[in-house]
Structure 1
């Protein structure tokens, strides 16, 4: 990951910086009148006045609920409304304190976690070990994304701020499973009733003051936060699904942060020296095939589809210069990755489909028993360009795909329900400190996030060994064995290796945390121009 700014200034009517200051000043005056600012804490020498400390985020990932167990409760942690026990570093290999100040594996299956001693929820209720245990237990039972990773785990308060977590078997990297789980005050659910979904009660350094499901959330600093008070006095996050609209909002000064910079817009952003880009670590872009579809359950069909993907075209033309060829589940160069690309060969794909009895029809689409060879292809947002390329490439081997374009948030429930044939869905692997958790999520028979319903007794057994293994080289070897089997089964289609999304900040945004570049953190502020 690197922070870069462009090298060419974009020319725009009226001058971009003057336009930005004018828009910010107008909004700041109105906000100051409503909130009555008394001055920001921890001021930096280059900070703009408190009434200008407003950060406007445009994003394609907006929460539809403030109940953190909801499948569409997105960016609650990223926007500072919620805290997990621990954060994960940008390279995926380290854990960073959040609500937890320290943690220790005191027995092979027992973690002891010390919590912030002065944490509070927005309601003023203290964040105790008992409250955290209740929150994690609710994730275990109600959060569809977490049920398999938390299965068999118990949470117990053994002191006011001391939590013990017992896992059903040895798992030295277990805490990585908690980095995406916001901690909530479960006791508030009974008090708030149906209103809980639109109010919530969490412990983040911002608290919401306006929420429109899936469209808008604004927040101000939470005075009861245990840590540093945010330097920003207000954040405004808006749902903007179109990447070009987000780019134009940044260019005109209507927005200060774009959390979903796609490779198409990255080329434009890098030409503008008034915008800073955080390029995140590369990950593997993969395509899911639903094994519940009778045709996709056949490994020969999956192999034909894989061979029909022209990865060179995707990497060297469509996504250039931001992508390289994929080499299996993990990006090449990692000590636990395999250096084994999936082949692209349309001739072999055609031969396999011929052998399976699929013959080309008058329009080039293959037919068998009077039925065309076609699939639905679920896609959205930053995958659209690649999905269109796949549609064209598969047509060359006689396979028709019908694009089903949805909003990013809508895709979550579709994937969970298994209501897709083929999907370009953002579950793309990158470097990690939790090999077991990552590979289990994708490939274990019982994982709820094994979207394609892949099942291999051999892989399940190796995952069991990986979970308990503590010797590093042995863990790496087990991970490579799993990836080799998955590759042989064509469990997924790997199409490229590139940063899924980059982050753009206006030139006057300071304090971006390099370990949490996707997040709005307390140290961020607007600099004076």
Structure 2
């Protein structure tokens, strides 16, 4: 399974999962204050290629962003107050283990097929089948769920194994695939089969993807339609990996939108470009707990954590703008606000770190590198390449601080597709900076427990019985009533250095000649092209 948000900064992991979408209006000050242009082309820059475009088989932020143009979810979430809003479904109820949703009338797929309740149930059941290994099983759709459809009443019924406190939030992030894509999923690798406001009409992997607007679309988030003034007729997604090039293309108007971080973002801010800002967990350090990796030893994980000055890392990574994170599920609207992290993070203490490594049998050598049974203490350290120069500098600082306690780390930046392929596939890594952004704590559970990758979503192979017991308790409580327990579960992981969140920041998606909203990811129905 792939993730990316795992949505960090859109960065990756949507594991970079950024969950939820708000209603679809422009991000302008008010009606009449902006002049919009119809029939225009909107060009969006992405830092890496999304890879296979199957919307239910990858959770990377690049794919998640591209998915929004061609696919819809059953529900949406208001980005300001967290209220559940309409999308494919016009009404819904939740009673215990039964969820019922009534579809809007007249929904059509891009190929003209009229979407039925049975079609939706089939799409949900694909995700629900563990053999299909969708990353959304257990994340956006509870494990064990089964769906059925009544085409006469346009009703989709989902039966759960047990009550799920934030099931509607999850459904708001789960794209529905139309029957043509369900019959032959191979067409979804470079094509689309959805009900969304746009249809993919050209795919040049590694370079660009072109989408064309659909007339008659009326079932968008909160009732958004493609008849709105200023919506672009064409959307082009361009792959631009270099952040300096991206910034230059925004300033020249060749790009209408792109997410930019670090010094280049400061340059765009100073130039007065529009920016949609989204709070996100940016700095999040994961350890590979799998047998055979040096980080499988909890003493090594704790030592690596204590060796780092997390405050300093945060300042370097975010150019001084970041703040300490408070929850693992940090994407707004946050379902469980609070502070599970600041009191749980291990303190910076290189002396204690060195002592732990001594205790674990890693002896300092004359060359300044520790060894154990003839094996040097070396780390494969991965981080995402779209974090700008601040990410590079922070990675270099981490390597230096580990070196001070006798650890040799090799830092490598990778684009989102390569990084998620490594952590979910080959597994050749020890430490990774991957930002996993979601808005409800239950969406984190399959990434923090359960089957390890490649058999499951738990890419770090975390096994923490204390966390799992707290999760079991929290799942019994409806919605926000379980938040205190969810936050306690997060604290248990962090205090044991199972993972190390260290930086929040406002991710900025800059606009040139266009405005939009980014409640997690850029919302297609919120795009407005500016005249002049």
Residue of structure 2 equivalent to 1:185: 178
- TM-aligned CA distance change 1:193 to 1:110, over 3 Å: closer
Query: Which position in structure 2 is the counterpart of 1:504?
Result: 510
Question: How far did residue 197 of structure 1 move?
Answer: 2.7
Q: RMSD in angstroms over aligned alpha carbons? A: 2.7
Q: Distance in 2 between matches of 1:317 and 1:194?
A: 43
DSSP 3-state at the match of 2:525: coil
1:418-497 correspondence to structure 2 within 5 Å: 419-429=427-437, 432=439, 434-438=440-444, 440-446=445-451, 448-470=456-478, 472-473=480-481, 475-497=482-504
Give the 3 Å change call, closer, same or farther, for CA 330–223 of structure 1 in structure 2. Answer: closer
1:343-401 per-residue CA deviation (whole Å, 9 max, x = no partner) reads 11112212222233323333322122222110111222234423232222211211111
- How far apart, in 1, do the equivalents of 2:186 and 2:327 lie? 45
Q: Which residue pairs with 2:63 in the alignment?
A: 74
Tell me how many residue pairs correspond in the alignment: 474
Residue number in structure 2 paired with 1:208 = 200
Matched, 1:362 2:352: no
Q: Superposed, which structure 2 residues align to 1:117-516 within 5 Å?
A: 117-141=105-129, 142-149=132-139, 150-160=142-152, 161-190=154-183, 194-227=186-219, 228-229=225-226, 231-258=231-258, 260-273=259-272, 275-283=273-281, 285-294=283-292, 295-327=294-326, 329=328, 334-335=337-338, 337-340=340-343, 341-383=345-387, 384-385=391-392, 386-417=394-425, 419-429=427-437, 432=439, 434-438=440-444, 440-446=445-451, 448-470=456-478, 472-473=480-481, 475-499=482-506, 501-506=507-512, 508-510=513-515, 512-513=516-517, 516=519
TM-score, normalising length: structure 2: 0.82
Inter-partner Cα distance in structure 2 for 1:67 and 1:113 = 24
- List runs of 5+ in structure 2 lacking aligned partners: 1-30, 220-224
Instruction: Tell me which of the two structures has the higher relative contact order, counting C-alpha pairs closer than 8 angstroms and 6 or more residues apart.
Output: 2
Instruction: Tell me: CA distance 1:214–1:116, structure 2 relative to 1, closer, same or farther (3 Å).
Output: farther
Matched, 1:88 2:77: yes
**Cα distance, 1:66 vs structure 2:** 3.2
1:56 is matched with: 43
Cα distance, 1:292–1:212 mapped onto 2, change above 3 Å: same
Comparing 233-242 and 416-425, the one that deviates more: 416-425
Q: Which runs of 5+ in 1 are unaligned?
A: 1-42
Return the alpha-carbon distance in structure 2 between the equivalents of residues 50 and 488 of structure 1.
53
Residue 478 of structure 1: CA displacement?
0.9
**Higher Cα radius of gyration:** 1
Task: Tell me if 1:521 matches 2:524.
Answer: yes
